[in-house]
Structure 1
Amino acid sequence: MAGIARWGAALGAGALWWWAVLRLAVAPDAGAVEGAIAAGGWGLSLLPVHSVPKARAAGVLAAGRWGRAWRTGRITTASPHPRSDGGSDPS
């Protein structure tokens, strides 16, 4: 049932976006509402949808790493992973 509702919401939002875009292109009285809907839909298209859960991501940090560093006061310590160039300063 949740899948049907999700598809219905996606189709409804898509239809609303196309209505706003077409109205902006054709109707001389289109205004801020249509512009906001069109811009908002375009902005949503910039979201990263090709992602994986954090546990499966390559190079992910261990859960709680930043919290442990904050509690122990080691916020400014260097990374446990040294740079590939040996960390030498070119200056």
Structure 2
Amino acid sequence: MAGRIVRWGVALGLGALWWWGVLRLVLVPDAGVLEGAVAAGGWGLSLLPVHCMPKAQAVGAAGSAQWLAGWRRRGVRGGRAPGAR
């Protein structure tokens, strides 16, 4: 129960902070970098996937071996793309 209260408290606190940044950017002429960073950071977090699951359970997900084989087919060595310096 305490964990649920803490999670809700954090979510509400961060949401209030985000709205403060957005409203300050819109309404106050001297809003600056701090408000912009808070608003952009909150918006960026909204782009994260919310329906995550382990690769083993995801249908059609490429495993690590498939990624490595794909990189090798393209000729990537040592983490660099062909022709990269």
Give the TM-score of the pair, scaled to structure 1. 0.63
Q: Percent identity?
A: 62
Hey, what's the Cα distance between the residues in 1 that align with 2:62 and 2:26? 47
Hey, what's the Cα distance between the residues in 2 that align with 1:12 and 1:37? 13
Question: Partner of 1:50: helix, strand, or coil?
Answer: coil
Alignment of 1:16-31 (within 5 A): 16-31=17-32
Q: Which runs of 5+ in 1 are unaligned?
A: 70-74, 78-91
Alignment of 1:39-78 (within 5 A): 39-60=40-61, 66=65, 76=72
Over the residues paired in the alignment, what is the CA RMSD in angstroms? 2.2
Which segments of structure 1 move beyond 2 Å, counting only runs of 4 or more? Answer: 51-55, 59-62
Which one has a bigger Cα radius of gyration?
1
Hey, what's the Cα distance between the residues in 2 that align with 1:48 and 1:25? 28
Aligned length: 69
Paired residue for 1:15?
Answer: 16
